[in-house]
Structure 1
Amino acid sequence: MHDTIVVGAGLGGLTAGAKLATAGQDVLVLEKHTIPGGYATTFQRGECEFEVSLHEIDGLDEGDAKREVFAELGVFDAVEFEPVPNYRVRHGDGDVTLPHGREAMEAALVEAFPEEAAGIERFFDVVCRIREEISEFPMSGGSLRTLLTAPFTSPTLLRYRKTTLGEFLDSLVDDERLKLLLSFNYAYYNDDPYTLALPFFAAGQGSYLAGGGHYVKGGSQALSDHLASVVEDAGGSVELGRLVTDILVEDGRATGVRHEKTNTGTDARTDRARTVVANGAIPNVAEHLLPDPHGADLHAEIGDFERGPSLTTLYLAFETPLCELGNDHYSTFVVDESVDALSETATNSHASFGRRSFAFVDYSQVAADLAPEGQSTGTVATLDEWDNWAGLTDEEYRQKKAHVKDVLLRRLDEQIPGAADAVAHAELATPKTMHRYTRNPGGAVYGFAQTPSQSLLNRQIRAPVSDLYFASAWSFPGGGFSGAILSGYGAASNVLQRDSRAEPAAAD
């Protein structure tokens, strides 16, 4: 009998498992893949290591809740974080470099748009205040006390809780180019600024402004491997290549899981526990893991929830560092010239790959330690959706992948002349790829969409049975590396709080 079984070794599951194991629990983490991490992983081709998803992790300043988590779990002692210096935004003939940090970025934008100075100042004030107020939220989620004290502790958050990023920008500034610059990385959070909840955007963006952006030296796999080692060093177990097929329920409480070898479906085993933490997609828990009526109850609770977007990513290895071709930026966001207004970005995310906006990351601009000396790696990423790749035969799928790879490489070469000729390896991942490795429905990389009705406390999804907890991008507070980490830490905190309440009072 284990204290806790964690279903899935993504960042949420690993963080939950690590906190519980270091608190003295007997923890078993089960992961269907051959490596831990979910989207926080790398893969190797030849001598190069490829980052699966991480562009940069936000914050790590004193106001960042992750700092407490990382300090507690020994992350800062084992993992190096390389600061990312700035962002580049290309839009038609426009070419703007935005520095990290509130003061520097605000000053650069005011200099470029002096007539919009008041709106720019208001934007940064509100974003940073929301981030400060959200950082005071308990990581275990909200409570009645949180709601009652919100008018006093979180007035800005309360005011804008139903506001979208697009609505907020429209209320502040008129210049559409400025709106695009202020929201240049909205795709880190959702696929439409006019449905993206402002508080979730502000939590992440405010963290970038306060603490900057960072890349994990050696790739995000280093972070995942460390968290897995924390579980094991504390006496827990992380078993890879194990697919959980059922969450066991007895008398209305989760009591364990059944699991088998992922690739063969053999070696079926049952493990019991006092607690189950589900790190997988909540729709999958409802549809595939819980028995009815509990699965049906959970499905009914999330039935109206809309899932977020997926991504298509082109992984590239170059025979030379791209600085030798004139690129001196880590992140380059290319807004297609067909986009004239912020309101057109959502339509553009469904445009052809020849017109769709994209982001390029050149990992050689920091000490990423992903490629041998004299070589480099990078990724081209664009928003995508499952339906763009559904219903294709195997041959049609291969042909479309080859076509999209060529299109994205051509578009990168337009930004960095000579980049295409320097490519030593190119490999495309689609929403189907995202689904295959994580089983997220539709290949959704951020979980449920961060709309106002699905954000903040609206994202606190109740398990239909006791002793079952959720820890992933699909639960509170949401997607991205930070969201998943805080979700896992919050779930573990709730487990420990439950156990502390159940302990008998000490005798006088």
Structure 2
Amino acid sequence: IKALTDKYPEDEKGIRRFMKVLAGVRSEGLKQPSSSLVKKLIYPLMPLLYPNLVEASRHTVGSWLDKYLSNENAKIDLVAHLAYWGDDPYTLSMYYYSLPFSGFIENGGHFIKGGSQKLSDYLAAYIQNNGGKVLLGKKAEKIVTENGKATGVTFRDYFNDDLDPVTISCDNVVANCAIPVVPDLLDEPYAGMLKEKIGDKTNSCSLLCMYLGFNSGLEKFGVKHYSNVIEGEDVKSLKDVKPNHQGDWNKRRFIFVDYNKVDSGLAPPDKSEGVICTVDYIGDWENLSKKDYKAKKEEVAQILLQRLDNQFPGIRDSIEYYEVSTSKTIQRYTSNPTGSVYGYAQSKEQIGDKRFRNNFLIPNLYFASAWAFPGGGFEGSITGGFLAALQMNKDKIWSSVDDEQFVDQRTVPLKERKQIDDKTLELSFEKPADSQVQKGKYACVNLISPKVTELDLPYRWLPVTSNEEDEILRFHIELDDSSFAKSCEVMDKGDKATIYGPMD
């Protein structure tokens, strides 16, 4: 607060009110009753019981800042990290913005050591350790319904379209995908009912991220902070923020994060990792040919790298590796329409009780994602999953059908490990049932319980070296000093891996 009021003394009163509202929204939000009946009864008293929450709910971030602050630069500073919640201060709900931002101000930022994949790995391991299954490389095709209830899920192998689909019966279904894709999984009348409910909803923006590997620390280039906001030169007022997000890449505002400023566990001691992040839209990419898409990604990458170097002279020469993901990347790998990272836009009309709660369509069909209640981001999505679990436990729709174990036949044991030469290892696995992997094609070898995991992932896409008629699947591993290679070197006969594929 002091840094802001020293910089903008004419807006000290507004800045202090801003911080008070942020803290109040978080505090009051946690005290709200969960019962819809109680909420209706106390509704007339809301301004007295929850004054900050009511105030924030009536405003967008932009309308609130315009009302209580006069200096445009102060307003711009207060929305420096806007891209973490949306793209437009004049549509983003002040209520939703206050919840995570107040937590960041009061408690600081927190980072999962090893990256967010560690969280996903932990959740998957927890499910498996408690008797569940996590199936990758499968695509849900249908939510089976009967007599007004969801009774199962039909899915198909992502890599082998000619394999028969599989249906698993269950007592409850959780759609943790984007809600707009769910109608295509449902029969009528539910598909039509859901389409009608979501027809007027607006999707959030997407993000372009550029992942950077550096051959040194970044302090010598003047990088002092974990999160560094590079403002667009054409952003002179709060009203310029949204047009800037849709404008020229040479001027578009972005955030640069230096992960070495925290104990991230993402790079060796003598190196570092960073990310450039900015607002993105599918319209910039969706109608390009493969060649033009690749060329435009490279063009944008060079623009952003030069702008980063302008801010931190010399940093560009320390880059060993970079990779760009766009809204099209997000749409491809997550099936989120338009690559929307926050689900439905977090506007006044689409937050709080106006967002979809878990089983609003079918009694035992639950929704848990950025598209459902309470909203997007780590905190919103995790909270949504937690609330869905609580609701399922409360509803207690369980039977012996959920005790049935699904056997993933793609998980197979190692039959032989053989050293080919100083740089090559050969692994031979039992061939999975229904395997269509052929020599020369690629398959993903995902090690189960790898013995070495430092700074690496437990899988690789590898060319198949065995013949189609062989009873085994054989792969050659390059001994490149990676944790994956080290794990392969110490695998014993009977150790397991899951084989996904094929791909050309």
TM-score range with shorter-chain normalisation?
Answer: 0.7 to 0.9
Structure 2: which amino acid aligns with 1:111? D
Higher RCO (Cα < 8 Å, 6 or more apart):
1
Q: Secondary structure at the match of 1:206?
A: helix
Q: Give the counterpart of 1:145 among 38, 42, 49.
A: 38
Residue range with higher mean Cα deviation, 235-244 or 144-153: 144-153
Write the distance in 2 (CA, Å) between the matches of 1:323 and 1:263: 45
The Cα shift of 1:221 comes to 1.0
Write the distance in 2 (CA, Å) between the matches of 1:248 and 1:478: 26
Deviating above 4 A after TM superposition, structure 1's stretches of 4 or more consecutive aligned residues are: none
Equivalent runs, 1:98-497 vs 2, <5 Å: 106-137=1-32, 143-150=36-43, 151=46, 153-265=49-161, 266-286=163-183, 288-461=184-357, 463-497=360-394
Q: Secondary structure at the match of 2:273?
A: strand
CA 1:420–1:248 in 2, change beyond 3 Å: closer, same or farther?
Answer: same
Structure 1: which amino acid aligns with 2:152? G
Give unmatched runs, 5+ long, in structure 1.
Answer: 1-105, 503-508
Give unmatched runs, 5+ long, in structure 2.
Answer: 400-504
The Cα shift of 1:144 comes to 2.8
Q: Secondary structure at the match of 2:95?
A: helix
Write the distance in 2 (CA, Å) between the matches of 1:473 and 1:365: 28
The Cα shift of 1:500 comes to 8.5
Please tell me whether the aligned partners of residues 245 and 252 of structure 2 are also in contact (alpha carbons under 8 angstroms).
yes
Please tell me whether the aligned partners of residues 142 and 185 of structure 2 are also in contact (alpha carbons under 8 angstroms).
yes
Q: Secondary structure at the match of 2:234?
A: coil
Write the distance in 2 (CA, Å) between the matches of 1:185 and 1:195: 15
Structure 1: which amino acid aligns with 2:179? I
Write the distance in 2 (CA, Å) between the matches of 1:434 and 1:368: 23
The Cα shift of 1:225 comes to 1.0
Write the distance in 2 (CA, Å) between the matches of 1:110 and 1:159: 22
Deviations 1:248-304 (A, max 9, x none): 011111111001111223352100111101000000012x21122211110100100
Using the size of structure 2 for normalisation, the TM-score is 0.76
Structure 1: which amino acid aligns with 2:36? S
Deviations 1:82-138 (A, max 9, x none): xxxxxxxxxxxxxxxxxxxxxxxx111111111211111111111110111112246
The Cα shift of 1:158 comes to 2.3
Write the distance in 2 (CA, Å) between the matches of 1:253 and 1:500: 11
Number of residue pairs the alignment of both structures matches: 394
Please tell me whether the aligned partners of residues 21 and 56 of structure 2 are also in contact (alpha carbons under 8 angstroms).
no
The Cα shift of 1:320 comes to 1.0
Please tell me whether the aligned partners of residues 217 and 260 of structure 2 are also in contact (alpha carbons under 8 angstroms).
yes
Structure 2: which amino acid aligns with 1:119? G
Identity across the alignment (%): 39
Please tell me whether the aligned partners of residues 73 and 237 of structure 2 are also in contact (alpha carbons under 8 angstroms).
yes
Using the size of structure 1 for normalisation, the TM-score is 0.75
Please tell me whether the aligned partners of residues 314 and 405 of structure 1 are also in contact (alpha carbons under 8 angstroms).
yes
Q: Secondary structure at the match of 1:411?
A: helix
Residue range with higher mean Cα deviation, 156-165 or 204-213: 156-165
The Cα shift of 1:454 comes to 0.3
Write the distance in 2 (CA, Å) between the matches of 1:447 and 1:148: 31
Q: Secondary structure at the match of 2:391?
A: helix
Write the distance in 2 (CA, Å) between the matches of 1:242 and 1:396: 30
Structure 1: which amino acid aligns with 2:77? L
Deviations 1:136-156 (A, max 9, x none): 246xx6623224335154232
Q: Secondary structure at the match of 2:73?
A: helix
Structure 2: which amino acid aligns with 1:191? D
Q: Secondary structure at the match of 2:324?
A: strand
Write the distance in 2 (CA, Å) between the matches of 1:341 and 1:220: 34
Write the distance in 2 (CA, Å) between the matches of 1:470 and 1:171: 37
Write the distance in 2 (CA, Å) between the matches of 1:383 and 1:492: 32
Q: Secondary structure at the match of 2:140?
A: strand
Q: Secondary structure at the match of 1:355?
A: coil
The Cα shift of 1:464 comes to 2.5
Please tell me whether the aligned partners of residues 142 and 457 of structure 1 are also in contact (alpha carbons under 8 angstroms).
no
Q: Which has the larger radius of gyration?
A: 2
Please tell me whether the aligned partners of residues 254 and 467 of structure 1 are also in contact (alpha carbons under 8 angstroms).
yes
Deviations 1:322-364 (A, max 9, x none): 1232212110011112100011101000011111000001111
Write the distance in 1 (CA, Å) between the matches of 2:311 and 2:159: 42
Residue range with higher mean Cα deviation, 307-316 or 290-299: 290-299
The Cα shift of 1:418 comes to 1.0
Root mean square deviation of aligned Cα: 1.7
The Cα shift of 1:501 comes to 12
The Cα shift of 1:466 comes to 2.1
Deviations 1:60-80 (A, max 9, x none): xxxxxxxxxxxxxxxxxxxxx
Write the distance in 2 (CA, Å) between the matches of 1:119 and 1:427: 41
Please tell me whether the aligned partners of residues 364 and 397 of structure 2 are also in contact (alpha carbons under 8 angstroms).
no
